[in-house]
Structure 1
Amino acid sequence: MWRNYLTVGLRALAKNRTYAFINLFGLAIGLAACLLILLYVQYERSYDNWLPDAGRTYQLQVYYKSKTTGDGFENQGAPYVTKGALLKDFPQIESATYMGGPPLTLLKDGEARQVDEGRLVDGAFLDTIALPMAQGDRKALSRPGTVVLSEDEANKIFGTRNVVGRTLTLLTSGKKADYRITGVFKDLPKHSHMDMRMLVRVDFPSMFPEDNGYLTSWGWTSGWVYVKLRPGVDAATVNNQLEAWKKRNIPDITFNGQKHNPGDERTFKLVAAPDVHLGRATGSAMTAGNDVQTIVTFAAIAVMILAMACINFTNLATARASQRAREVALRKVLGATRRQLMTQFIGESILLATIAMLLALALVEIVLPWFGNFLDADLELHYFGHGGMFLPMIGLVLLVGAAGGLYPAFYLSRFQPARVLKANKSAADAEGSGLLRSALVVIQFAVSIGLIICTAVVYSQNVYARSLDPGYKRAGLIQLAGIGSKTLEPQADALTRAIAKVPGVDSVGRTMIGVVTGNTSSTSVVVPGRTDPVDIGIYGVDAGFFPTMGIRLVAGRLFEENRPADDMTTPVPEDPAAERALVARGGHIVINEGAVKRMGFKSAQEAIGKTVRYGVKDEYGGLMNLTIIGVVADARFRTVRTAIEPTMFLFDRHSVSWLVARFHGDPRPVREEIEKVWRRYAPDVPFDATLADEVIARAYKRLDARAQMFGMFAILAVVIGCLGLFGLAAFTAERRTKEIGIRKVLGARTADIARLLVWQFTRPVVIANIIAWPVAWWLMREFLNAFDARISLTPVPFIGASLLALAIAVLTIGAHAFRVARTNPIHALRYE
């Protein structure tokens, strides 16, 4: 029996090549897309599962929300002081470690290279985060002055991985020291939220002075805190106790005569290492995270594309029912039961799905390297073992076979032999089958139109984000990192002046906030007439910053070098006498338009001359008067996802991290000349210069990828939908051959016949808009709401997508319709 079913199934496919091609090709595309997205989802959900004791390793995250403004910031980083407080109060914690600090510079062969993935750690790091070691053991970082490297970093520096016992010269916080290599850890896979190639063991209390807030402040975040819980400890229990823990440990502070606790604006949470990548916090992350919504969206789209391929199977199977009606009738006459017939047709469907799966696997193997490179992910297709795809593939074949073949099996198996075998009669077209096919076509094109709309909106938002006026002149701007390095402090002024003299450079400036640098600094000030403190961003700049950036002055004036009262630069290291003198004198600030609104001034002009009070250390006076001398236009230093921060700027040459240079002409020779100057003044500081346009392009890379993914899915959906539409048109035209012949004999023109056939199949496409438009509008509204600056959701992408889908449908059907309409009616009617 099964052999007979297989033979009949293969003959049916061979007899109807168009039907077989449409179904196989459509199913193969759908299955390939589904497998690729399944691999992607599996990869995204596998982050840090490779880590030994991953289930007991947690990252402490801090979620900040201002009580006065409601602004929020979710941070993967945590203050240094939290580690000791956790160990003190929670015996459930087996070990805890802190990783962070200033950047590292490697000095080798007379050259300086910044180690972007170099991290300062304490002695408990390898006990807490059990990295797989290639050489050495868990005690490799037990002593300060030691370092462990990744295998790739060891090979990059020394040309070999056997480096234990060698010495590295590193520069950090302005201090040069030799570190002994005591271990090599295996390279971290890409699916890790941690990015580490060099771990340097230091003693943080010795590295930072006791009076530095880095060690004691609950608001200073420059690193990450990890803990390992003891076996059997429930993290939820610890998290439930963190609210009381912070109240016990975070001290009250007095500001403007009133006490308040900074912990009231902070929520702490332990997040399991495998959950960090798809978690809620993205600030201060070592690697770019993702969000669950994106993963779910792409998975849902893959399922919809696969469903469209199944719809094609259902539609074409019912449309060609007349060709199988007599076969079904004869089988019933010879004793076949309905159950046997259903088994036969579902078996044929599973056979088709199996062949399609083999084609899909070939497509996946071909496309996977490109797809992984596109997503910057190490995607691998394994058939067996942990994460193997064999069982999911079997499941997909059975699911698709059942989904595509179940209704046709019910439909075909119910034919009555007497009606089918009666002369000149066919019961192939049972009631309701045409309506079902139309409904399924509507669903197919609703998905296609919806994806086209989403692609258009995402692409338009991407273009808008790149072309939006940021409030400064992006073209002709180059940004250099490292000017705030302690190594450079003595030469920083001279270096800045030298770069300003480079041919092609028009102006230079220094800043603590640059173009998409990820740097965030905020404080509270007291505004006259208000009792509650106002939260506001605070960043140091020099007098050249605003002219170099091209930020527009709205009211008042900018900082000037020849006005000593503007300059709030104090000596480094901190000089108490100079600090007290500055507090007594007061300072000048420039604010942006957002700060004007945040402080409650009616206009920029009204803010000029007003004084706000800024909190400093009690031993220096407690509060310092800051006079507003200028208001500048809002500038978007971050991406369009982040709201423009109300900001005040201080003229402080020591509170800077980046140098910006305005240039004209070809950027390459200008950059080369700047590098020469940099090497001359700062040979021990790596040269890191990037054009502002390149920084922006890098920042929007993820949004670009999302737009391209939507575009690819939209194309696949349209292709599958058009394949089904073409197949339906072909079978319908074949069934209506005699009708078309009679119409032509009675005088119908070719155009009339073609119009009849085209309208029959484009009508569902038009109706599909009723489903697609509201769903796409809701989805894209949610997508755009994630941006601070966004496009308006106009009817243009909706109408455009509908017209495009309609045009594709008409072209798909039109050529075939004209060919059928031009057929000589004699061939259709001659048997009469």
Structure 2
Amino acid sequence: MWRNYLIVGIRALLKSRAYAFINIVGLAIGLAACLIILTFVRYEFGYDAWLPNAENTYQFQTIYLPSPTGGRGGTSQTTAYVAEAAIKKDFPQIERAVWVSSQATTILKNGQPATVKKPYVTDGALFDVLRVPFVRGNPTTALDDPHSLVLSETEARDQFGDVDPIGRTLTIVDGGTTTDYRVTGVFKDLPKNSTLDMTMVVRIDPGLYFQKSPQAITSWHWQNGSVYARVKPGTDIAAMEAQLPAWEKRNVPDDAGSTPKSNPGDFENWHFANIRDLHLSKSFGQGRANGDRQSIITFGVVALLILAMACMNFTNLATARASQRAREVALRKVLGATRGQLVGQFLGESMMVAAIAMLIALGLAELGIHPLNAFLDADMSFRYLGAHGVLLPVILLTLLVGLAGGLYPAFFLSRFEPARILKANKSAADAEGNGRLRSLLVITQFAVSIGLIACTAVVYGQTVYARNVDAGFKRDGLLQLNGISRPQVDSVAPTLLQELRKQPGIADAARVSLGIATGNNTDGDVNVPGQKPVDLGIYGVDTHAFDTLGMKLLAGRNFSESIGLDNSTLPNPPDLTAENAFVARGTNVILSEQAAQRLGFATPQAAIGKQVQLSFTSLNTGLTTATVVGVVSDVRYRTIRQPIQPILYYYQTDGFNQMMVRFSGDPVAARATVERVWKRSIADLPLNARFVADITHDLYNADEKRAQLFGMFALLAVLIGCLGLFGLAAFTAERRTKEIGIRKVLGARTRDILQLLVWQFSKPVLIANVIAWPVAWWMMREWLNTFDIRMSLGLTPFLMAGGLALLVAIVTIASHAWRVAQQSPVKALRYE
């Protein structure tokens, strides 16, 4: 029996080759897209799951609570250095904890300075907690001693070639001093689905490393690294979390008195986050950029929608062609076949089509995964066997698709009544039913396609808008130099800046403590006498910063080197006498426009001459009175997903993080000029510079790639929908051959016939627009609300999506309609 079913199924496919091609190709494309998207989803959710003992590896995070004074909340993957010892002391469940930080590192190679791409420093045996696989050395002891370091395979090869690096030394330049470190291990290159982003890990002595800024290892305010902990198997993390409020009271000091926000515990909580949950969390840190959980889930939904569309094609075409097999069903019933046997036969044919389509889909997916890896900078792959193999899911998916696509047609075909089908003059081409299900499926397919196209247009439009929105400064012609917070830079910075300004093509240069998209944040409470304190960003600049950035001075004046009260520079390491003198003297500051508004000043001019109070000093010697001497335009230093930070600027002469250079003309020539002057002034430190236009462009790469991916899958959805529409149009045109012949005999023109057929298939697409537009509008409104500023959500994306879908549908069916409309009425009336 099954052999007979197989032969009949193959013959049915061969008899209707166009139908078989459309069904198999449509299913194959849908299955391939589904496999690729679900592989991508699993890849994103699998970040750091490859790490041995990942289930017991946690990161200790800081949760910033929104303060009553306007401070922004959020979760940081960094925490204070002192937290490491505090959690080890109070939580016996922790077997080992370690602090690690991403720090710019310069090495001397053949006497020349070179920058390591992704250096980390740590205070202990990092790889006994983060058990990264090693190729050389012992991971549990490799970093036991200070002045030891571990390299990745690629970094070891770059530094030492094919020579065994174990025991060799690398000379690291830090703070103007050179220190030799011994290589004690080599770890495997980290996979790309890891939040860890390191090629070199250096074991330091924190006391020596931070001797010029001791508060880095003693203050709860100084959060410059991440703390990872390995807990005992079976540890109840929820119970540990419940103990954190008591832990905070025991460990976080209440040093209130100098400023209302001096106690970290007032506005901070802490949290143990499993390392596997970091990538798709909303926390921010020092590793690779986080993914977007909502977007990943959306892609999973898109995969299922595309697969559902392919199954709809199967169902649609099978029910449309049902009457062509009506006599076969009737004869089988007359010869004794039961309905259950017929259902089994047609389900078997459906499974066969699904299996053929799956084989083609696997080939398409294998071909498509490599370009997708290059596009996303990922390393996804298909493994058929093993713990994460796709063989079993592929088999289950094939069975599911076979059932989903064939169940309704099987019951539909098996219900025909033999007597009615075999009676005299019953045409084999007469269709059963009124086609409502087929119309509903076509509407659903095109609603999905239109929705995806509209969403793609909105995401892409918002990305373009974000890159071009006025950020309050001039992006073009601006070069940002990072990693300048080094003693060897501070000592030559004034001369370096003067030399840069003399160069042709260089308009200005300045130092700032907040650059574009640097991720650093410094804020604090600022008091206006008689009012509640306000949380503002507090950053140091030099006298050329505002002109170099291209900011507007709205009121008052700029800082001046000749006015002593403008200078807020304090000694480092901190000096109590100097800080007391500074508090007694006071200083001058400049506000951003939003900061002036937040402090209650009606206009920028109204703020000039007013006094505010804030804590400038490291030793908490009291609040400093500052006089507002200027108000400048707001600047968006971060992405448009984050609100513009209201900022208080002060003037300092050292301790900067970035240098900005304003240039004109050829960017390449300008960078070469800056590098030449830099090398002449600072020979032992390589230049680390990027164009601000490039930095801004990269800020929205993830959104742009997301839009492009949505676009790709939207096109696949349209293609699958058009394949189904193509098949239905061909079948319908064939069914109505006699009707069309009669119409032509009675005087209908080719244009009339063409309009009749095109309108029949355009109606479902128009109805699909009515369904898709509200859903897509609601989804995109919610997505746009995640941005601080956004483009207006007008009708253009939806009209474009609907028009494109309608155009594609008309083109798809027009060829059939034209061919049928051109036929001679004589042939049409004799075709039976």
**TM-score bracket for this pair, using the shorter chain length:** over 0.9
Whole-angstrom distance in 1 between the partners of 2:617 and 2:651: 19
User: How far is the alpha carbon of 1:573 from its aligned partner?
Assistant: 3.7
User: How far is the alpha carbon of 1:498 from its aligned partner?
Assistant: 1.3
Question: Which of 228, 241, 244 in structure 2 is aligned with 1:242?
Answer: 244
Q: Is the 8 A contact 1:511 1:655 kept in 2?
A: no
User: How far is the alpha carbon of 1:638 from its aligned partner?
Assistant: 1.1
How far does the alpha carbon of each residue in 1:780-832 deviate from its partner, in whole angstroms, 9 at most, with x for none? 01111111111111122112211221121112112221221121111121368
1:119-518 pair list within 5 angstroms: 119-137=120-138, 138-160=140-162, 162-209=164-211, 212-255=214-257, 261-281=263-283, 283-425=284-426, 432=433, 434-518=435-519
User: How far is the alpha carbon of 1:429 from its aligned partner?
Assistant: 6.2
Q: Is the 8 A contact 2:588 2:650 kept in 1?
A: yes
Q: Is the 8 A contact 2:613 2:625 kept in 1?
A: yes
Q: Is the 8 A contact 1:321 1:428 kept in 2?
A: no
Point out the more displaced range, 46-55 or 506-515: 46-55
User: How far is the alpha carbon of 1:219 from its aligned partner?
Assistant: 2.4
What TM-score, normalized by structure 2, do the two folds share?
0.97
2:741 maps to what in 1? 741
SS at match of 2:759: helix
Counterpart code for 2:301: A
How far does the alpha carbon of each residue in 1:759-786 deviate from its partner, in whole angstroms, 9 at most, with x for none? 1111011111222111101110111111
Q: Is the 8 A contact 2:259 2:615 kept in 1?
A: no
How far does the alpha carbon of each residue in 1:737-769 deviate from its partner, in whole angstroms, 9 at most, with x for none? 111111111111211111111111110111112
2:639 maps to what in 1? 639
Counterpart code for 2:194: S
Counterpart code for 2:530: G
User: How far is the alpha carbon of 1:216 from its aligned partner?
Assistant: 2.1
Distance 1:634 1:211, change over 3 A: closer
User: How far is the alpha carbon of 1:493 from its aligned partner?
Assistant: 1.3
Distance 1:101 1:153, change over 3 A: closer
Counterpart code for 2:379: D
1:717 maps to what in 2? 717
Counterpart code for 2:93: Q
User: How far is the alpha carbon of 1:11 from its aligned partner?
Assistant: 1.1
User: How far is the alpha carbon of 1:44 from its aligned partner?
Assistant: 1.3
What TM-score, normalized by structure 1, do the two folds share?
0.97
Distance 1:789 1:257, change over 3 A: closer
Q: Is the 8 A contact 1:452 1:714 kept in 2?
A: yes
Q: Is the 8 A contact 1:537 1:648 kept in 2?
A: yes
2:5 maps to what in 1? 5
How far does the alpha carbon of each residue in 1:103-144 deviate from its partner, in whole angstroms, 9 at most, with x for none? 211111122222231111112322222222222211111111
Whole-angstrom distance in 1 between the partners of 2:257 and 2:501: 42
Distance 1:428 1:813, change over 3 A: closer
How far does the alpha carbon of each residue in 1:623-678 deviate from its partner, in whole angstroms, 9 at most, with x for none? 11111111111111111111110111111121311111111111112211211111
Counterpart code for 1:262: P
User: How far is the alpha carbon of 1:147 from its aligned partner?
Assistant: 0.9
SS at match of 2:524: strand
Whole-angstrom distance in 1 between the partners of 2:617 and 2:564: 23
Distance 1:174 1:716, change over 3 A: same
Counterpart code for 1:84: A
Whole-angstrom distance in 1 between the partners of 2:212 and 2:478: 39
Whole-angstrom distance in 2 between the partners of 1:17 and 1:55: 53
CA-based RMSD of the aligned residues comes to: 1.8
Counterpart code for 2:673: E
SS at match of 1:483: coil
Whole-angstrom distance in 1 between the partners of 2:735 and 2:489: 84
Q: Is the 8 A contact 2:260 2:525 kept in 1?
A: no
User: How far is the alpha carbon of 1:10 from its aligned partner?
Assistant: 1.2
Counterpart code for 1:337: T
2:54 maps to what in 1? 54
Whole-angstrom distance in 2 between the partners of 1:666 and 1:346: 67
Identity %: 53
Q: Is the 8 A contact 2:259 2:525 kept in 1?
A: no
Whole-angstrom distance in 2 between the partners of 1:635 and 1:721: 47
How far does the alpha carbon of each residue in 1:694-727 deviate from its partner, in whole angstroms, 9 at most, with x for none? 1112221111101100110111111111111111
Whole-angstrom distance in 2 between the partners of 1:650 and 1:752: 77
SS at match of 2:242: helix
How far does the alpha carbon of each residue in 1:395-422 deviate from its partner, in whole angstroms, 9 at most, with x for none? 1111111111111001001001100011
Whole-angstrom distance in 1 between the partners of 2:578 and 2:266: 33
Counterpart code for 2:28: A
User: How far is the alpha carbon of 1:303 from its aligned partner?
Assistant: 0.9
Q: Is the 8 A contact 1:255 1:615 kept in 2?
A: no
Distance 1:255 1:810, change over 3 A: farther
User: How far is the alpha carbon of 1:432 from its aligned partner?
Assistant: 4.6
Counterpart code for 1:323: Q
Counterpart code for 2:585: R
Counterpart code for 1:152: T
Q: Is the 8 A contact 1:321 1:429 kept in 2?
A: no
Q: Is the 8 A contact 2:195 2:288 kept in 1?
A: yes
SS at match of 1:627: strand
1:702 maps to what in 2? 702
Whole-angstrom distance in 2 between the partners of 1:261 and 1:169: 40
Whole-angstrom distance in 2 between the partners of 1:672 and 1:257: 46
Distance 1:762 1:618, change over 3 A: closer
Counterpart code for 1:705: K
Counterpart code for 2:172: L
Distance 1:184 1:256, change over 3 A: closer
Whole-angstrom distance in 1 between the partners of 2:466 and 2:299: 22
1:784-803 pair list within 5 angstroms: 784-803=784-803
Whole-angstrom distance in 2 between the partners of 1:708 and 1:727: 29
User: How far is the alpha carbon of 1:451 from its aligned partner?
Assistant: 0.5
SS at match of 1:345: helix
Q: Is the 8 A contact 2:579 2:617 kept in 1?
A: no
Counterpart code for 1:659: M
1:675 maps to what in 2? 675
SS at match of 2:645: coil
Whole-angstrom distance in 2 between the partners of 1:116 and 1:240: 39
Whole-angstrom distance in 1 between the partners of 2:71 and 2:614: 21
Q: Is the 8 A contact 2:480 2:658 kept in 1?
A: yes
Point out the more displaced range, 554-563 or 429-438: 429-438
Distance 1:681 1:506, change over 3 A: same
Point out the more displaced range, 351-360 or 447-456: 351-360
Matched, 1:777 2:777: yes
SS at match of 1:253: coil
Whole-angstrom distance in 1 between the partners of 2:749 and 2:556: 78
Q: Is the 8 A contact 2:525 2:536 kept in 1?
A: yes
Whole-angstrom distance in 2 between the partners of 1:61 and 1:552: 38
1:821 maps to what in 2? 821
Q: Is the 8 A contact 1:541 1:655 kept in 2?
A: no
User: How far is the alpha carbon of 1:217 from its aligned partner?
Assistant: 2.0
Distance 1:313 1:558, change over 3 A: same
Distance 1:195 1:89, change over 3 A: same
Whole-angstrom distance in 2 between the partners of 1:58 and 1:831: 75
User: How far is the alpha carbon of 1:180 from its aligned partner?
Assistant: 1.1
